[in-house]
Amino acid sequence: MATIVGCVTTSHVPAIGGAIARGLQHEPYWKPFFDGFPPIREWLGRARPDAAVVFYNDHGLNFFLDKMPTFAVGAAPQYRNADEGWGIPTLPAFPGDPELSWRLIEHLVESDFDITSCQEMLVDHAFTMPMKLLWPDAGSSWPLPTVPVCINTVQHPLPSARRCVELGRAVGEAVRRWPADRRVLLIGSGGLSHQLDGRRAGFINKEFDQRFMQSLVDDPAWAAKYSIRELVELTGTQGVELLMWMAARAALGDGAELLHASYHIPISNTAAGTMAFAPAA
């Protein structure tokens, strides 16, 4: 049977890609963020995942306001990165894992989730940034196939935090029931608190961010008590991307060992956090 080796959560910001492209990882502005990843890369070397399920939110590259699924799962042989208009370099195509994709889709539908199945799919910086941060030396090919799981955080109504936790749990069940000798990594990409526009542009809530990060250690469904409106108030319009962290952490299961955590503000008016978990012993 397949094994879930762990879970990594991280913020995504287009400026991260620009910093990588310009070699700014050791500049004082960026260093505290990038320093969060070497310990996780060392752990990944020991954990040896051979597939990754990536929970992320699309920013208009693959889906737009006229067609915005609540939940979408990629089932393509590969996922191409395209220009989003941010001026960041595009990356080589990511190999897919159709067998794992359909395993997730079928289980999610059986679990009463209405899923959009995507046999062609573009992926934006929310997907590419964690991959590049975790495997910076991938070059022209990536070391493992991927399955994108996209959660709508753009067009209201958004799925509730409770529903995203349930989605994550169902994904974890599907992986653990997969009769394949595979080692699967879960990635949650998004957040933490930030707002890019309006009267609260630049809003960051450090106190809530740190409480939320701690909750993923000792009470993974803690933030599910808040409505989407309340989460927007607490974290900013774009901070609601923390739904991806909740889904990925829920997929790991109730018990988990915190391996590493870091928090840094600001990066491009965004609170940036990184966490890594292993399954409970």
Tokens read off for 174: 């599907």
The CATH fold assigned to 3-279 is Protocatechuate 4,5-dioxygenase; Chain B (3.40.830)
Instruction: Band the pLDDT of 87: cuts 50, 70, 90.
Output: confident
pLDDT for residue 269 = 87
- Reported as a single tens digit per residue, the pLDDT across 190-239 is 989 989 788 888 889 999 999 999 999 999 999 999 999 999 999 999 98
With beta carbons less than 8 A apart as the criterion, state whether 150 and 57 touch.
yes
189: Cβ contacts below 8 Å, ≥ 6 apart = 9, 10, 11, 12, 54, 55, 56, 57, 126, 127, 129, 130, 244
Give one word for 53, left, alpha or beta, with left for phi > 0 and alpha for psi -120 to 50: beta
Instruction: Band the pLDDT of 252: cuts 50, 70, 90.
Output: very high
Whether the pLDDT of residue 45 is over 90: the answer is yes
**What's the mean pLDDT when you consider all of the chain?**
95
With beta carbons less than 8 A apart as the criterion, state whether 62 and 101 touch.
no
pLDDT for residue 88 = 83
Q: Which residues are catalytic?
A: 125, 194
Tokens read off for 159: 């799925």
- Reported as a single tens digit per residue, the pLDDT across 139-173 is 889 999 999 999 999 999 999 999 999 999 999 99
pLDDT for residue 29 = 94
Give the distance from CA 238 to its chain's centroid.
14
pLDDT for residue 197 = 84
pLDDT for residue 281 = 76
